């Protein structure tokens, strides 16, 4: 499975979770492995469970950067794409920021409305300038 395929699989699970609020992330993941024959991929697993675990923090970052849009008003596709990207930005330090941002926009182009890519890009670009991201990219050297 390529990284792009893995990212799409993680997005699909995050999106599916929006419709299965009564099921645990574990049940959703197990069902995907069995029913859809999802490959048990480390990135997919980490991203899906990471978003599930950190959803409140992730949604707060999205809400703070979306200027006038409440997370609850965003389409399920849009919010799922942005949750995955924000997870990558803050918790997957091996993925370059520009790759995460570009892949989110590509997912929006493929799965969302015509207006979504610009919206996703704008919100995620604001989030990428968060001081926490800057600290991750440019950690302060300890003085000896």
What would the pLDDT profile of 55-104 be if each residue is shown by its tens digit?
A: 999 999 999 999 878 888 899 999 999 999 999 999 998 899 999 999 99
The pLDDT, as a whole number, for residue 72 is 83
Token code pair at residue 78? 């849009």
Per-domain boundaries in the chain: 3-137
- Asked if 113 contacts 125 with a C-beta cutoff of 8 angstroms, the reply is no
pTM score, whole prediction: 0.89
In angstroms, the CA 137 to CA 39 distance is 31
What would the pLDDT profile of 40-52 be if each residue is shown by its tens digit?
A: 999 999 999 999 9
Is CATH 1.10.10.60 the right assignment for the domain spanning 3-137?
A: no
């Amino acid at each position: 499975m390529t990284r792009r395929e893995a990212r799409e699989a993680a997005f699909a699970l995050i999106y599916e979770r929006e419709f299965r609020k009564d099921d645990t992330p574990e049940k959703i993941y197990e069902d995907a492995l069995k029913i859809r024959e999802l490959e048990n991929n480390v990135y997919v697993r980490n991203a899906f469970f990471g978003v599930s675990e950190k959803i409140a923090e992730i949604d707060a970052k999205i809400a703070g950067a979306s200027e006038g849009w409440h997370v609850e008003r965003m389409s399920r596709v849009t919010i799922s794409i942005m949750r995955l990207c924000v997870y990558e930005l803050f918790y997957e330090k091996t993925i370059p920021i520009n790759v995460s941002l570009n892949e989110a926009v590509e997912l929006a182009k493929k799965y969302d409305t015509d207006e979504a890519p610009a919206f996703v890009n704008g919100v995620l670009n604001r989030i990428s300038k968060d001081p926490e991201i800057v600290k991750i990219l440019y950690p302060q050297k300890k003085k000896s």
